[in-house]
């Protein structure tokens, strides 16, 4: 955006701050440090590179809980030095890279995972069948039956949730 004026929404997006913050700082709290265009002189606001750099410094100082008096002192010093030493223009926020998998590969992976879950459920059901003889509650054989039954139910539930069955 070098050499090109920006609108308030663009500045807010670039810096990751609310548009209302841009307005507040340029209308009230720090108005004297911005160009007339950034202050809204003439109706439409436009921010120069210098305005954006000042706004970025403000954001950094505010984020580190610098007292307002110290912020004003630092800005006054920079302004007296014709803004020499002002931080560089911030880089545009980049969009996070999200890896993408081809549909066919995703379908194959889901199918393989589904077969794995079904096989696991089948094995657990076979284990459950082994215990399907009537054991009285509280007998030593009862606990493994309950454990396997819950394990089968848990695996079936997980499969249904993951596969949206």
Residue 64 has φ and ψ, to the nearest 5°, of: -95, 15
CATH classification code of 8-80: 1.10.1660
Q: How far apart are CA 113 and CA 161, in angstroms?
A: 13
Residue 127: the pLDDT is 72
Q: How far apart are CA 89 and CA 53, in angstroms?
A: 5
Q: How far apart are CA 5 and CA 45, in angstroms?
A: 9
Residue 92: the pLDDT is 73
Kindly report the pTM of this predicted structure: 0.55
Percent of the chain with pLDDT over 90: 22
Examine the pLDDT at 122 and tell me if it is beyond 60.
yes
How far is CA 46 from its chain centroid?
29
């Amino acid at each position: 955006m070098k050499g090109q004026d920006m609108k308030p929404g663009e500045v807010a997006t670039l810096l990751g701050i609310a548009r209302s913050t841009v307005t507040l700082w340029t209308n009230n709290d720090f108005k004297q440090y911005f160009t007339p265009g950034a202050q809204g002189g003439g109706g439409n606001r436009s921010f120069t590179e210098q305005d954006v750099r000042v706004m970025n410094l403000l954001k950094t100082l505010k984020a580190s809980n610098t007292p307002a008096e110290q912020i004003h002192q630092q800005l006054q010093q920079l302004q007296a030095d014709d803004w020499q030493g002002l931080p560089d223009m911030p880089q545009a926020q980049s969009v996070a890279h999200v890896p993408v998998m081809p549909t066919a590969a995703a379908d194959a992976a889901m199918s393989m995972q589904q077969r794995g879950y079904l096989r696991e459920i089948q094995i657990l059901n076979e284990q459950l069948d082994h215990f399907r003889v009537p054991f009285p509650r509280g007998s030593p054989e009862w606990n493994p039956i309950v454990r396997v039954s819950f394990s089968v139910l848990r695996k079936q539930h997980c499969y249904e949730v993951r596969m949206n069955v």
